[in-house]
Chains A and B, each alone.
Chain A
Amino acid sequence: MSGMEFKGLTIDVDEDGFIQDPSLWNKEVAEFFGKTEGIEELTEEHWKVINYLRDYYLEFGIAPMIRKLCKETGYDLKKIYQLFPSGPAKGACKLAGLPKPTGCV
């Protein structure tokens, strides 16, 4: 575990850069994580994905199925990779402040 300095606050992240305490997430944290992933600016399209992931996680305690994410946002996997170059799990979930997905995903 290590801390990332951000606007005077320290955000604890794991070895892969995922937030340790998802309750500390906010929009600024998402923008900050975006920069660590090489995403300079978060567009409306990014937010559509992030907000869906966030809402699903708060309801079910896990990231949604990638297929459901695609269906609900209307973006195919290729588009998700364009938006989040590290992909839905390692990229989009990180920005949305979810813990790192585990298992064979």
Chain B
Amino acid sequence: MRKVFDDYRALADNVLRPDEPRVDKFVEAMGKSLKKENWTFWLPYVLSLDYCMKCGTCAEVCPVYQASGRREIYHPVKRSEMLRSIYRRYFTLGGKLWPGLVGAKDLTEDGINALAESFYRCTVCRRCAYVCPVAIDNGLVVREGRKILDAIGIAPDELKDSGTQIQLKAGNATNMGTAAFLDIIEFMEEEIADTWGRQVKIPVDKKGAEFLLMHNAGDYLAFPETVMGAAVVLQAAGVDWTLNSPATGINDVVNYGVFFSDGELEKVLRAQLKTALDLGIKTFVVGECGHAFEALKYLMQRLIPAGERPFEVKSILELEAQWIREGRIKVDPGKNREIVTYHDSCKLGRLGGLYEEPRTILQAACQDFRELVPNREMSLCCGGGSGFAIMAKGDFLKFRMETYGQLKAQQLTDAGAQVVALACSNCKGQFREIINYYKLPLRFAGVSELLANALV
């Protein structure tokens, strides 16, 4: 694959089609994105295109810019300017009449190539948006740019062809059938007995249950300790709950549309909604997955009227914290003796506001809980966000490790932690690689897993 932006390529040639004419289509798609029918975040998007003082505050907190040794091409303003210069040139009067004066540039095919790759160097962690003095959201600009790219047929196959498309067809993005799902459930029940000495019967496809817990399907295959831990906790809490198999519709809480497409986002959300309605559950519980929480807790509110979704949406963290506070489940922190720290997922924390819940759980369940610095609102993205955790074409894993990953590895080392607790599947995927790449002397664990381990 030839170089179009930096030394990496997130998008393969058959996706980017770097030598095909796409300028006219791009401008047309961008024109549509600027209309109010672009329902998600039209106003902040247009304001973010119109107003930026270029003060550079964002760059000082941008993980990829800082970790790259302040390389200009990774500067968040530079990135957004790639889209802004097109906006000015084709959609403002000044840009049409006097392009040179207003920083408007003709769009070229090479410009599209560079923009596409650049917009897949940012994890949309939105640390920049948090510090911007005039509330410009570079993360939003990146997402809208990715939507325009998708509209002209440029989207990572991991997220679309092998992501949302498989999920809509098979019920989950891992392409797991019902037989495989049931085999996994049976294995997990045995593993729970072996690990924690508990007999847990995992309910599946129970209609009318109070809680439908939907995990990221990848957790069943790659991070089953989280799924097992949650099952142990729910049984200990004595609540009426269920998991669901692909036979009931969608049994994967992920929604990669969050990363690149409102169309895909809506299709997946509606399919998840239908599954929940068919099952007749009362509360839709989002497993340990950051972007799924964004989709179901926040984006769904903008898309689907309240009357059409007669159930509550909660993160598993909210329930676990609540049950600890209520004394519904009892824990002994002496059962988790290692030094434990917590990494705030961008989507659960900065976006979702779940800062206290994981801390309530971990402080109760672990003997020596320590904070990473910085944390909460200023938490550093691990580098797995916005789809990166499952994108590794060519050298792209190296990009993830040498930029975001490098900062995170340093932060973990400074904290002296033996266990890093995570509540997001993409974080888990990225930390698995960081720990392996930097040979760090620690392990990661799901929050639910640590909680299950501390139950008395």
The chain A residues found within 8 Å of chain B, CB to CB, are 1, 15-16, 60-68, 71, 81, 87, 89-90, 100-105
Contacts and interface: CB of A to CB of B under 8 A. Distances in A.
Given A65-B187, A66-B222, A90-B392, A101 B14 contact: no
Secondary structure at chain A's binding surface: helix, strand, loop or mixed? loop
B157 A15 contact: yes
A102 B175 CA distance: 7
A75 to B, nearest CB: 15
A102 B177 contact: no
Residue of B157, B180, B392 most packed against chain A (CB within 10 A) = B180
B52 interface: no
Nearest to B217: A103
A76 to B, nearest CB: 11
Given A81-B436, A103-B252, 13 more contacts: A60-B177, A60-B180, A61-B180, A68-B187, A101-B221, A103-B163, A103-B167, A103-B217, A103-B254, A104-B289, A104-B426, A105-B174, A105-B390
Interface in B387-402: 389-390, 392-393
A105 B432 CA distance: 11
Residue of A61, A64, A102 most packed against chain B (CB within 10 A) = A102
Contacts of B191: 67, 71
A102 B224 contact: no
B175 A104 contact: no
B224 A67 contact: yes
Secondary structure at chain B's binding surface: helix, strand, loop or mixed? helix
6 contacts: A15-B12, A61-B175, A61-B180, A66-B221, A87-B436, A104-B425
Interface residues of B, number: 40
Interface string B201-240: 0000000000000001111111011000000000000000
Nearest to B173: A103
Interface in B150-190: 157-158, 162-163, 166-167, 172-177, 179-180, 183-184, 187
A89 B392 CA distance: 12
Nearest to B254: A104
A104 B429 contact: yes
A31 B401 CA distance: 29
B173 A104 contact: yes
B220 A65 contact: yes
A94 to B, nearest CB: 12
Given A102-B163, A102-B173, A104-B254, A62 B224 contact: no
Contacts of B187: 65, 67-68
B355 to A, nearest CB: 23
A34 B175 CA distance: 25
Nearest to B436: A81
Nearest to A104: B218
A60 B183 contact: yes
A104 B162 CA distance: 11
A63 B222 CA distance: 10
Contacts of B426: 104
Contacts of B183: 60
Nearest to B177: A61
A53 B166 CA distance: 21
A62 B166 contact: no
User: 9 closest A-B pairs (Cβ-Cβ)?
Assistant: A104-B218, A103-B173, A103-B174, A60-B180, A102-B162, A105-B222, A15-B12, A105-B218, A103-B218
Interface in B345-402: 389-390, 392-393
Contacts of A71: 191
Contacts of A63: 221
A104 B390 CA distance: 6
A7 to B, nearest CB: 26
B230 to A, nearest CB: 15
Contacts of A101: 174, 221
A61 B393 CA distance: 24
A103 B171 CA distance: 11
A62 B183 CA distance: 12
Contacts of B176: 62
Nearest to A16: B393
A69 to B, nearest CB: 10
Contacts of B425: 104
B177 A103 contact: no
Contacts of B177: 60-62
A63 B180 CA distance: 9
Given A103-B172, A104-B222, A60 B163 contact: no
Given A15-B14, A61-B175, A105 B180 contact: no
A87 B435 CA distance: 13
Contacts of A64: 221
A1 to B, nearest CB: 8
